[in-house]
Amino acid sequence: MAVVAIDLSKCINCGWCRRVCPTETIKYFSTGHRTHIVEPDGCIDCGICAPVCPVDCIEAVPGYTVAPELLTAAREKAKQHAGAQRKMKLDRDAVIARTLEKLREGVHAGA
């Protein structure tokens, strides 16, 4: 298990990593210096954050061990996050389908 950390000397505070983190373990402002930090005990090492960083400043911290109960809680949070994302996508797809249907009806009514 490798937790990740942000190199604050390179971070441009774009917020992408915070938006994609499924455990909400990347925080902003919590240091009081307007920086992004990873709260290590919430990191499940999913690796989603590193590829979205435009300046490649998210790196592994080998050797950090998250207590099993914290890891379980973080994984549960990630599971709930994934469920919420899935629901949001289904809701969005339903809205798009309804909108397209209305547009089609409008076209046929006007024809």
Name the 3-class secondary structure at 62: coil
Query: Where is 103: in which H helix or E strand?
Result: helix 68-110
31 binds ligand SF4, rule: CB under 6 A: no
> First CA to last CA across the chain, in angstroms?
62
72-111 footprint of ligand SF4 as x/- string (CB under 6 A) = ----------------------------------------
14 binds ligand SF4, rule: CB under 6 A: yes
Q: How far is CA 65 from CA 29, 62, 87, 102, 106, in A?
A: 25, 9, 32, 54, 59
Closest distance of CB 82 from ligand SF4, Å: 12
Closest distance of CB 89 from ligand SF4, Å: 19
Number of residues that bind ligand SF4 (CB under 6 A): 28
Which residue of 15, 51, 83, 106 would you call a contact of ligand SF4, by CB under 6 A?
15
Which of 98, 12, 18 has its CA nearest to residue 4? 18
Are 37 and 71 spatial neighbours (Cβ–Cβ below 8 Å)?
no
Our CB check for ligand SF4 shows the closer of 67 and 107 to be: 67
**What are phi and psi for residue 3, nearest 5 degrees?**
-75, 155
61 binds ligand SF4, rule: CB under 6 A: no
Name the 3-class secondary structure at 13: coil
Q: Under the rule (CB under 6 A), what is the footprint of ligand SF4?
A: 4, 6, 11-17, 21, 23, 25-26, 36, 38, 43-49, 52-55, 57-58
